[in-house]
Amino acid sequence: MAACTNPTKEAPVGTYYDLKSYVEQQIGQLKSQHPTVVKQAGFGNEKEQQTTKDIDWSRELDLFLQADINKQAYQASYQKLRPDSLTYEYTLKPGEKLPVRFLRIELDSVTREPRLVKATLRTKNSLYESERNVWLQSEKGVLKRYHIEGFQQLAWLDQKRFLIDGQIRMP
């Protein structure tokens, strides 16, 4: 019977910080407020900057949802560290092969909501390798900036670096 359970279900409350709920709440807030974003995007040596209000927030912040480790299958896969009462840090244990290698969440001392989220996601197999280093900053529970950088590489091609940096300006 245990083999029939869904291994990607969320872990019991309190196992890891609930990053998914926080990011989903931010996505909802951003969709309703339509802020202006100064966005820099780059792939390889090409970079461009634009100012826009036209952002698909679910897609834009998807890697932060992917950085959520609160899944039952991940329950024993991370070393937990609490450097202080406002910081959660999770590092993938040696021998584990999950995409989220590292996750750090720093809470605001007043709101107790994340003020900084940092994560490293890595995928590697015989054909493909990628690494994404992501972080976001919030002030008083409102997302102000997000940053995604890393590389992708197919086994037979050169490594391609990418960057996305968004500064959010609320109306």
Residue range 43-60, pLDDT digits in tens: 988 999 999 999 999 999
Average pLDDT over residues 82-109: 96
Q: How confident is the model at residue 75 (pLDDT cuts 50, 70, 90)?
A: confident
Tokens, residue 22? 């926080």
> In terms of C-beta distances under 8 Å and separation of at least 24 residues, what long-range contacts does 80-87 make, across chains too?
80/16
138: left (phi over 0), alpha (psi -120 to 50) or beta: beta
Count of positions (residues) in the chain:
171
pLDDT digit string, tens, across residues 18-42? 999 999 999 999 999 999 999 999 9
Residue 107, token pair as written in the block:
């809470």
Q: Where are the domains of the chain?
A: 17-169
Secondary structure (H, E, C), 21-90? HHHHHHHHHHHHHCCEEEEEEEECCEEEEEEECCCCHHHHCHHHHHCCCCEHHHCCCEEEECCCCCEEEE
Task: For 85-94, write each residue's pLDDT tens digit.
Answer: 999 999 999 9
Instruction: Give pLDDT, residue 72.
Output: 86
pLDDT at 19: 94
Tell me: pLDDT of 10 over 60: no
Token pair for 142? 């409102």
Mean pLDDT of 97-123: 96
pLDDT at site 25: 96
Give the CA diameter of the chain: 53
pLDDT at 14: 56
Residue 156 has pLDDT above 90, yes or no: no
pLDDT for 1 beyond 70:
no
Asked if 153 and 159 count as a contact pair (C-beta separation under 8 A), the reply is yes
User: pLDDT confidence of 6, banded at 50, 70, 90?
Assistant: very low
